[in-house]
Amino acid sequence: QDNRISLWSTGDLGNVGLNGEYHGEPHLLCDIQHNGDVMDMQFLDQERIVVGSSTGTVTIFRHHQNNQTLSANHWWEKAHHHVDQDTSCGGAVCTGVVCNNPEIVTVGEDGRINLFRADQKDAVRTIDNADSSTLHAVTFLRTTEILTVNSIGQLKIWDLRQQRNEPSQIFSLAGDRVPLHCVDRHPNQQHIVATGGQDGMLSIWDIRQGTMPVSLLNAHEAEMWEVHFHPSNPDHLFTCSEDGSLWHWDASTNVSEKPSFLHQGGRSTTYFSHSTINQSVVSAWLSNDPTKDRMEITNLIPNQTLSVNSLDVLGPCLVYGTDAEAIYVNRQLFA
Amino acid sequence: PPQVVPGADPSARQLCFAWGPAEVLVCETRFGRAGRAGAGARVLTGSVADSAGEAPGSSRVFVVRRDQDIYIQTLRKLFNESHGIFMGLQRSEEELAGKSRKAQLVQVSKNYRSVIRACMEDMHQAAVSTRDPALQGQYSTQVSILSAMELIWNLCEILFVEAAAAGPLLLRLLDWVRLHVCDVDSMVREVLSSENPSKHKLFWNVVDVFVLQGRMDEARHLLSKEATANPTSMNMYKILDDLMKKMPMPSLGNTQTLTELELKWQHWHEECQRFLQDGTFASNPHMESICKILLGDEDAILEKKELMTTWYHFLVTRLLYSNPTVKPMELRFYAQSSMDLFLGGESSPEPLDMILMAAFEFEMHQVIKECSIVLSNWWFVAHLTDLLDHCKLLQSHNLYFGSNMREFLLLEYASGLFSHHSLWQLGVDYFDHCPEYGRVYLELHIERIPLNTEQKALKVLRICEQRQMHEQVRSICKIMAMKALRNNRLGSALSWSIRAKDAAFATLISDRFLKDYCERGCFSDLDLIDNLGPSMLLSDRLTFLGKYREFHRLYGEKRFPEAARLLLTLMTAHIAPCSFWMTLLTDALPLLEQKEIIFSAEQTYELMRCLEDLTAGNVDKQKFQEDDETTKVEMLRLALARNLARVIVKEGTVEGS
């Protein structure tokens, strides 16, 4: 198998046409061989990328901008592993990686949570058997707290300051323990958390209260692989799924105030208005009143065939990758 | 074509082989050649080195893959993109009839071709940028194969998909030739970019090329340069230019009928004839030969063989200048004679030539058959046949084992994809669109995909669930659950059994938990057991596990009456397995010994009954039982009796006074 980490440039400003449309394709800057499947990756800083592999190894790659190359800077081999009955250490799949420079947290199919620091050779902390099932994803709640989701439908908060190997709080879904595959936290309001499940359901949680989700939204027809709040416009949420669709959830509150004939494709044109965000005391995500706030949901993929495995969003750009071995870049998300 | 397995030497060791779904295993046996027979007729299939040292070295196993092409990196784009086009075609509306449907199908064909061309580009880039000569050779070969594929496909599009009628047919063929005969491009560029084109030594060659390809405007443009440089031939030039300008060509629109065109053309042909016979061009051999070409003189055209490079170029030029209103069905006669004239007995036709000939003869099946033989991969024939089938051009040609040709080719192609660790996902969709055998093939193949990550297993499961392939779902979930169990990931194992609704496995996992508890005296993975939720009901044993843990929790919270009630229910409702009753009764002991009375009289009677039920079965075994057992039973009996006594008194006492 030939798996590679590749760095692409989606073009220079010179390629912008009359309408500000982007012409030209993303082009490959550099790439490097990777051992095992790339399960998750995240930028640690401007130059370094942390990658979790299906072999259980966690690697930091450095991008050298002067000569456009990638090199493996540092790695923790068998960061995730199973202990076989004949005590041979088999690697276990690392399923999730999250960074908060210089700290890196990884989780895997072995139910282990690792805390690394970018400059240190060994793990700072390892919680063995943190979970009896597979941990599918991890994200930072606060600088010292992380959120994990597992395959028996539980959302757990871990306080890394404490030495005990127990989660400080456990949340779970009400009915069937459907595995949760992804988790993301609201950028500004840290008590709002979104998770996606194996049945394609999007759950919004308020971790200040209760142990069950605030709202359950029937979304995709198959596993939801990733969920992301837009980092600067958190009234927008993006989810992608095995069913081949990528949904844009628009919960900007002034959607309902406009008369419907002014909607242009259901997209709000004043999402930039900061005053709106500050005014909403209760975020649109937590509001339970369906008559008051309408959410616009758009499928961004016209001809869906194979699964959309991963997405990321920053500013006006959206990038996503599919099982048809294609990467799509949308640079005008809110146009 | 026969394949040589590198390293497998039948003269050194006797080889055996076994067929797999997509591969062949070839193994070296213990038996060498030249009379070295081992004891018995046993054959070692690919195992370790022989310890007795009989055979030199270890045996090797060779995995011979059928389909090499799927591993070529640059072809992956071809497979992925064409999959998208294929799916689009299958889903497109069949209700559109006539012209719009045809236009739709032509567009699909064009899409396929542009994918082939894009792949060719990538492959060319790879060939140029690599430093390894072997790789470069491989890439270059691939480029020429792809180029040939596009050539054939393009012709099939013109003749079969678009089914161009007389008139437009010639125009399409001209485009086709211009696009694919590019050996002369560099020469053309060189002459056009030189300072003084008319003085260039290849000038007339380029003019000839333009004329042969029917590019009249470009030819006239070049000729005008010659005329300005050479005023003496101005007269000749003017006449030739005029002839070329007036040449009647078929048009794509409906501006003229075929009869009109034929009349005009006949007129023009005669005019050219007159000028030639008058000796107008006698002083300039170049112009004279051009005039002869315009008249469709075969010998004159054949003289320019090197400029045409292929017989099909010759064919199209011939048609242009002798029969521009040629009908599709007449092509075959011209094609055969063109090839004969062009090759002239010096060289024999290559496979590509035979395929194109079959196309000109409208023998679709022949085209597909020849392509299947020549190409190393089913991609081309599978997609082309599918497209032709959608054009309703293939008769339902039933092959002897039941499916038709389209399905056969798609099945072969998709099976090839399944041996790839990642492209198998494309194969699933192809199987979906094979009505006869697709499902069976899918069922067989899908269980053999290696599942090295849970995410991959989930994808496979989703595919199976969407197609109601329940057997496969159960089988895959069992495999994943067993793997998890072996790695001591009990929560994962449970999650897989819930997905498969596999009660038996859930029971297995619960037994494992209970065993752990009995050995260690405490529960592992409390986060799982405490949060089972409705999945607890999947199996009785699992329910028991959940409830038993609840009992411990209640006990820990000192909610004794509730704990007691739960404990009793576990036994009386037969939720607890009989093997566990002893443990449960032992758990009841501390409750019986408490200062306050927890069990009521009725509950105590129930407990005693349970105990009796338990010990009744053990009557036979007694003397060999450990003393612990009998001691326990005795202690229980004593405790129960004491509790009974106390509770009778308490219940009998009348409150107040």
Least confident of A160-174, A273-287, B467-481: A273-287
What does the mean pLDDT of chain B come to? 83
Least confident of A165-174, B57-66, B277-286, B401-410: B57-66
The one-letter amino acid at B407: E
Least confident of B29-43, B69-83, B191-205: B29-43
Least confident of B95-109, B315-329, B356-370: B95-109
Residue contact A325–B429, C-beta within 8 A: no
**Closest CA relative to residue A101, chosen from A118, A113, A114:** A118
**Which among B73, B486, B490 has the least Cβ separation from residue A132?**
B490
Asked whether the predicted pLDDT for residue A226 surpasses 90, the reply is yes
**Does a structural domain hold residue B317?**
no
Residues B538-557: what's their mean pLDDT? 87
**pLDDT by residue (tens digit) across B306-328?**
888 899 999 999 999 999 889 99
**Does a structural domain hold residue B36?**
no
List Cβ neighbours of B36 (8 Å cut-off, separation of 6 or more): B55
Asked whether the predicted pLDDT for residue B569 surpasses 90, the reply is no
pLDDT of residue B67: 62
Which residue in B has a C-alpha nearest to residue A307's C-alpha? B459
- The number of CA neighbours under 13 Å toward the Cβ of A137 is 29
Which residue in B has a C-alpha nearest to residue A135's C-alpha? B492
**pLDDT by residue (tens digit) across B215-243?**
999 888 888 888 877 777 788 888 888 88
- DSSP, collapsed to helix, strand or coil, labels residue A108 as strand
- The number of CA neighbours under 13 Å toward the Cβ of A332 is 8
Of the three residues B310, B341, B366, the one that is the final residue of a domain is B310
B273 & B225 share domain: yes
List Cβ neighbours of B136 (8 Å cut-off, separation of 6 or more): B127, B130
Measured between alpha carbons, how far is residue B8 from residues B53, B134, B168 in Å? 20, 22, 56
B188 & B213 share domain: yes
List Cβ neighbours of A155 (8 Å cut-off, separation of 6 or more): A147, A148, A149, A170, A171, A172, A180, A183, A193, A195, A205
B264 & B338 share domain: no
Distance of CA B394 to the CA centre of its chain: 24
Q: What is the ipTM of this complex?
A: 0.87
- DSSP, collapsed to helix, strand or coil, labels residue B571 as helix
Supply B227's token pair. 């005329």
Asked whether the predicted pLDDT for residue A268 surpasses 50, the reply is no
**Closest CA relative to residue A5, chosen from A55, A62, A45, A44:** A62
**Closest CA relative to residue A135, chosen from B15, B326, B442, B495:** B495
* Residue B263 to residue A20: CA distance in whole angstroms: 54
Residue B57 binned pLDDT confidence (cut-offs 50, 70, 90): low
Chain B hits for A85, CB-CB cut-off 8 Å, are 486
pLDDT of residue B78: 92
B118 & B230 share domain: no
The one-letter amino acid at A8: W
pLDDT of residue B183: 74
Mutation target among A81, A166, A177 for the B interface, most CBs of B within 10 A: A177
Q: Which range scores top for mean pLDDT: A17-26, B15-24, B314-323, B506-515?
A: B314-323
* Residue A38 to residue A2: CA distance in whole angstroms: 11
- DSSP, collapsed to helix, strand or coil, labels residue A136 as strand
B189 & B295 share domain: yes
B127 & B211 share domain: no
Domain limits for position B25 = 1-29+59-65
pLDDT of residue B36: 40
**Which among B84, B452, B525 has the least Cβ separation from residue A132?**
B525
Residues B410-419: what's their mean pLDDT? 90
* Residue B237 to residue B345: CA distance in whole angstroms: 38
**Does a structural domain hold residue B3?**
yes
Contact A179/A136 with Cβ under 8 angstroms?
yes
Chain A hits for B542, CB-CB cut-off 8 Å, are none
- DSSP, collapsed to helix, strand or coil, labels residue B222 as helix
B8 & B104 share domain: no
H or E element: which one contains A83? Answer: strand A81-83
B65: number of Cβ within 10 Å: 15
**pLDDT by residue (tens digit) across A121-159?**
888 999 988 988 899 999 999 999 999 999 988 999 999
pTM: 0.83
Residue contact B491–A39, C-beta within 8 A: no
Query: Does the bond joining A102 to the residue before it have cis omega, within 30 degrees of 0?
Result: yes
Domains in chain B: how many in total? 5
**Does a structural domain hold residue B50?**
no
B364-381 burial: b if 16+ Cβ within 10 Å, else e? beebbebbbebbebbbbb
Of the three residues B354, B369, B394, the one that is the final residue of a domain is B394
* Residue B576 to residue B583: CA distance in whole angstroms: 10
**Does a structural domain hold residue B319?**
no
**Does a structural domain hold residue B468?**
no
Rg (CA), chain A: 20
- The number of CA neighbours under 13 Å toward the Cβ of A107 is 26
List Cβ neighbours of B265 (8 Å cut-off, separation of 6 or more): B248, B324, B325
**Does a structural domain hold residue B535?**
no
The better pLDDT of the pair B12, B331 is held by: B331
B213 & B285 share domain: yes
B644, with CB counted inside 10 A (0-12, 13-18, 19+), is middle
**Which among A95, A176, A324 has the least Cβ separation from residue B534?**
A176
What does the mean pLDDT of chain A come to? 82
Sign of CA dihedral B234, B237, B242, B245: negative
B235 & B293 share domain: yes
pLDDT of residue B37: 39
B235 & B333 share domain: no
* Residue A61 to residue A44: CA distance in whole angstroms: 10
B156/chain A closest Cα distance in angstroms: 27
pLDDT of residue B321: 92
Asked whether the predicted pLDDT for residue A271 surpasses 70, the reply is no
Chain B hits for A167, CB-CB cut-off 8 Å, are 527
pLDDT of residue B424: 92
Chain B hits for A109, CB-CB cut-off 8 Å, are 453-454, 489, 492
B2/chain A closest Cα distance in angstroms: 26
Sheet holding B61-65, edge to edge: B13-19, B23-32, B61-65
Residue B34 binned pLDDT confidence (cut-offs 50, 70, 90): very low
Supply B495's token pair. 């999650």
Supply B23's token pair. 């591969």
* Residue B287 to residue B324: CA distance in whole angstroms: 22
Contact pairs from chain A to chain B, CB under 8 Å? 119
* Residue A181 to residue A176: CA distance in whole angstroms: 15
**Which among B80, B498, B524 has the least Cβ separation from residue A325?**
B80
* Residue A86 to residue B367: CA distance in whole angstroms: 59
B154 & B71 share domain: yes
DSSP secondary structure of B627-642: HHHHHHHHHHHHHHHH
pLDDT of residue A76: 92
* Residue B315 to residue B406: CA distance in whole angstroms: 31
**Extended beta strands in A242-333, E state:** 246-250, 296-299, 308-314, 317-322, 327-330
**pLDDT by residue (tens digit) across A88-105?**
567 899 999 999 988 999
The better pLDDT of the pair B594, A64 is held by: A64
Residue contact A133–B495, C-beta within 8 A: yes
* Residue B198 to residue B370: CA distance in whole angstroms: 45
Report chain B residues touching chain A, CB-CB < 8 A: 73, 76-77, 80-81, 83-84, 87-88, 421-422, 425-426, 429, 452-455, 458-459, 462, 486-492, 494-495, 498, 524-525, 527-528, 531-535
Residue contact B498–A176, C-beta within 8 A: yes
Distance of CA B244 to the CA centre of its chain: 51
Which residue in A has a C-alpha nearest to residue B84's C-alpha? A305
The better pLDDT of the pair A303, A127 is held by: A127
H or E element: which one contains B25? Answer: strand B23-32
List Cβ neighbours of B439 (8 Å cut-off, separation of 6 or more): B431, B467
B232 & B258 share domain: yes
For the packed helices B627-652 and B581-593, what is the interaxial angle rounded to 10 degrees? 50
Residues B439-455: what's their mean pLDDT? 91
**pLDDT by residue (tens digit) across B126-185?**
888 888 888 888 889 889 999 999 999 999 999 999 998 888 999 999 999 998 887 778
Residue contact B498–A85, C-beta within 8 A: no
**Does a structural domain hold residue B602?**
yes
Placement of tokens 């269980």 in the chain: B447
* Residue B645 to residue B592: CA distance in whole angstroms: 12
Which residue in B has a C-alpha nearest to residue A38's C-alpha? B453
Residue contact A131–B491, C-beta within 8 A: yes
